[in-house]
């Protein structure tokens, strides 16, 4: 499992682990959307198996977003006296916006590794 996450973070092709899936290396915040390669440069594996293949990655992205909201909420709980303070909302929203690029890339990588066969 950890090996799979490491390969996903390293932007490696799910088929050969040599080619790169995304054209840019920047995994976190980037001013422009990072494009995916259509095929692996090393093994010619087609990343988008069928039209709409990555629609399912939205569910993974949603789960990542919920996990990030909960993690941010619990960390913020250390700094606020009340269990839920309204001042937490803009901070949580900022974290989610900043992690959008990460979520898109990481959810697609997880989705490809789930259905690599």
Asked if 15 is part of the footprint of Zn ion (rule: CB under 5 A), the reply reads yes
84 contacts: CB under 8 Å, gap ≥ 6: none
The answer to whether residue 14 forms part of the interface with Zn ion (CB under 5 A) is no
Chain mean position to CA 74: 21
Which of 36, 40, 99, 104 is the binder for Zn ion (CB under 5 A)? Answer: 40
Size of site (CB under 5 A) for Zn ion: 8
Q: What is the Cα Rg of the chain in Å?
A: 17
Structure tokens at 98: 């900043």
Told to check if 109 binds Zn ion by CB under 5 A, we report: no
Give the dihedral of Cα atoms 27, 31, 36, 37; nearest 10 deg: -100
Q: Which is nearer to Zn ion, 34 or 37 (CB)?
A: 37
Nearer to Zn ion, 87 or 116 (CB): 116
Cβ-proximal residues to 82 (8 Å cutoff; 6+ apart), any chain: none
71 in contact with Zn ion (CB under 5 A): no
Sole window of 35-43, 53-61, 63-71, 103-111 interacting with Zn ion (rule: CB under 5 A):
35-43
Interacting residues toward Zn ion by CB under 5 A: 13, 15-16, 19, 40, 42-43, 45
């Amino acid at each position: 499992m950890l090996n799979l996450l490491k390969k996903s973070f390293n932007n490696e092709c799910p088929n050969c682990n040599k080619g790169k899936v995304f054209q840019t290396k920047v995994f976190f915040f980037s001013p422009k959307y990072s494009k995916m390669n259509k095929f692996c440069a090393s093994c010619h594996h087609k990343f988008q198996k069928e039209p709409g293949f990555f629609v399912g990655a939205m569910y993974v992205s949603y789960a990542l977003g919920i996990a990030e909201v909960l993690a941010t909420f619990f960390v913020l709980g250390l700094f606020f006296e009340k269990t839920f303070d309204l001042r937490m909302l803009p901070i949580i929203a900022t974290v989610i916006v900043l992690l959008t690029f990460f979520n898109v890339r990481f959810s697609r990588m997880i989705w490809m590794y789930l259905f690599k066969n």
